Amino acid sequence: MKSISKRALALYLIILFFIAGCVLLFFNLVSNSGDWAMNRANRHLYSNGVLVTAGDIISSDGQVLVTTEDSKRVYSDNKALRMATLHTVGDSAGYIASGVQTSFRDELTGYTLLDGVYNLKRYGRGNDITLTINAEVCETAYRALGQKKGTVAVMNYKTGELVCIVSTPTYDINNKPGDILTDTTGKYDGVYMNRFFSGLYTPGSTFKIITAACAVENIPDIFSRTFTCKGKVQIGEGYVICSSTHGEITFEEALNRSCNCAFAEIAAELGTEKLQATAERLGFNSSLNKVSGKISCAKSRIDLQTASELDLGWAGIGQYTTLINPCHMLTVISSVANGGKAVEPYLIKSISSPEGESLFSASETSAGEYFDSATAAKLGSLLRSNVKNYYGDSYFPSMEFCGKTGTAEISDNEDAKPNALFVGYSQLDSMPFAVIVVVEDTTVSITSAVPIASKVMKAVKAEYAS
Ligand SMILES: [Zn+2]
């Protein structure tokens, strides 16, 4: 009996190990099979590590951005469009990690867990992806940025469709420069990074939108207050310097003229906890959901825990340790435009099989309520006043445009040039689009970022609202 029970025990153990092995194998298969099949050594999909049999990537206005011909990836024959869409389309060798060719390679090659690369063998090609970006608008944004480093993006604030994403520096994928790795002049700094998704920038005065939101929510008489700007103001142990001497001004005029004295005083009055809480409710310090489920955005950061009163003053005007990610900031400004409701940005409009069958079609997804509708309306009227009374409607003719500039000092070195930013949107129902522009190492935003936003929004209007 003793030996029988020993044998039974041994048998049970064998069965147990067998089941455990099966579970492990299944788990490995589910979690890794995509990587195994998609490995660059797989000759069904890759030649010398380059993706060759994937489907097309098409812009929302029908431009084929990349296709496959004779087992080669062939890009648009329009050089400016290739340059403008490099970071969105990505390369087939995977240098640009957030590019669609890398992030959506399963979809492009038609790989599925059940069938492996069976579809690819059957049809000889993968699925086609239609993007939300508009080729014309992207090309305009690329030309407007010129030789400057930075990013421009436009989003439909009601649906979350990203109709423009451009990041510079860029290069022509058909003639990749040989000196990218060896260059020491800095002209290719971050060339493989899509600054819209992965960049982090000092917000400068664009952060005054968030300070203003916190003030609207917490200081009941803020709209009837007046502030006196003498060119600098003592906050705690030191001074916050203004760009000008604005004299006696209202809250609205303080935002119009981007008065540092008024906004540093407002931040000091609000205190660290309220300003931190407002920023965090708007998504600072937390990750946005991945764009179209696969592309990560860098996290916007704010930390006022150890800020002195003077630090808080600087934080209120966007010049402390706070950093914003352009995709997140575009989501915030879009929520103001959309009555306080935030939507998730997305880039993939649809996916169809080689036989033309629809496999996926995107729709809008709520990202929650950033503001109540009354606060959003008040912020909207302040941002409208900025454009109407200060920057000038001539930049955005017949668009009922709202916006805020920012010129961010990023170094104490007096010779260092600032980054220029602009965020804004049209209030027209026919044109529900918000824009963000970041231009690195440039002059003040009104002369650099605003004219770029102007060109891009005129192109948006021509494509969508005329
Ligand atoms: Zn001032």
Cα of 420 vs centre of ligand 1, distance in Å, is: 19
Cα of 248 vs centre of ligand 1, distance in Å, is: 9
| Beta strands, E only, 336-458 | 341-343, 348-352, 358-361, 366-369, 401-408, 419-426, 433-439
Contact 411, 397 (CB under 8 A): no
Written as six digits, the tokens of 298 are 């860098």
**Contact partners, residue 17, CB within 8 Å, separation at least 6:** none
Cα of 329 vs centre of ligand 1, distance in Å, is: 25
Cα of 379 vs centre of ligand 1, distance in Å, is: 20
The residue to which tokens 């649809």 are assigned: 350
List the beta bridge partners of residue 241.
232
Cα of 269 vs centre of ligand 1, distance in Å, is: 17
How many other CB atoms sit within 10 Å of the CB of residue 143?
Answer: 16
Cα of 225 vs centre of ligand 1, distance in Å, is: 15
Q: What is the Cα–Cα distance from 347 to 85, expressed in whole angstroms?
A: 12
pLDDT tens per residue across all 466 residues of the chain: 556 677 777 778 777 877 777 677 666 655 555 555 555 556 556 655 556 678 999 999 999 999 998 888 999 999 999 999 999 999 988 999 999 999 999 899 887 666 666 666 677 678 999 999 999 999 999 999 999 999 999 999 999 999 999 999 999 999 999 999 899 999 999 999 999 999 999 999 999 999 999 999 999 999 999 999 999 999 999 999 999 999 999 999 999 999 999 999 999 999 999 999 999 999 999 988 999 999 999 999 999 999 999 999 999 999 999 999 999 999 999 999 999 999 999 999 999 998 889 999 999 999 999 999 999 999 999 999 999 999 999 999 999 999 999 999 887 777 788 999 999 999 999 999 999 999 998 877 778 999 999 999 999 999 999 7
Contact 170, 191 (CB under 8 A): yes
Cα of 258 vs centre of ligand 1, distance in Å, is: 7
Q: What is the Cα–Cα distance from 149 to 164, expressed in whole angstroms?
A: 16
Written as six digits, the tokens of 312 are 């808080």
Cα of 388 vs centre of ligand 1, distance in Å, is: 19
Cα of 425 vs centre of ligand 1, distance in Å, is: 25
List the beta bridge partners of residue 324.
201
Cα of 176 vs centre of ligand 1, distance in Å, is: 47
At residue 25, the pLDDT reads: 63
At residue 125, the pLDDT reads: 77
Cα of 245 vs centre of ligand 1, distance in Å, is: 5
At residue 21, the pLDDT reads: 72
At residue 423, the pLDDT reads: 98
Alpha-helical segments (H) within 174-250:
195-198, 208-218
Where b means 16+ CB within 10 Å and e means fewer, 49-62 reads eebbbbbbbbbbee
Closest by CA to 334, choosing from 301, 291, 379, 275, is 379
List the beta bridge partners of residue 129.
57, 351
Residue 257 CA, chain-centre distance (Å), reads 27
Cα of 262 vs centre of ligand 1, distance in Å, is: 7
At residue 120, the pLDDT reads: 64
Residue 142 CA, chain-centre distance (Å), reads 16
Contact 460, 164 (CB under 8 A): yes
Cα of 419 vs centre of ligand 1, distance in Å, is: 20
| Beta strands, E only, 90-196 | 128-131, 150-156, 162-168
Cα of 259 vs centre of ligand 1, distance in Å, is: 4
Cα of 227 vs centre of ligand 1, distance in Å, is: 9
**Contact partners, residue 287, CB within 8 Å, separation at least 6:** 296, 297, 299
pTM of the entire structure?
0.90
SS3 (DSSP) at 75: strand
Cα of 220 vs centre of ligand 1, distance in Å, is: 22
Cα of 274 vs centre of ligand 1, distance in Å, is: 23
Q: What is the Cα–Cα distance from 272 to 164, expressed in whole angstroms?
A: 35
Cα of 118 vs centre of ligand 1, distance in Å, is: 66
Contact 456, 436 (CB under 8 A): no
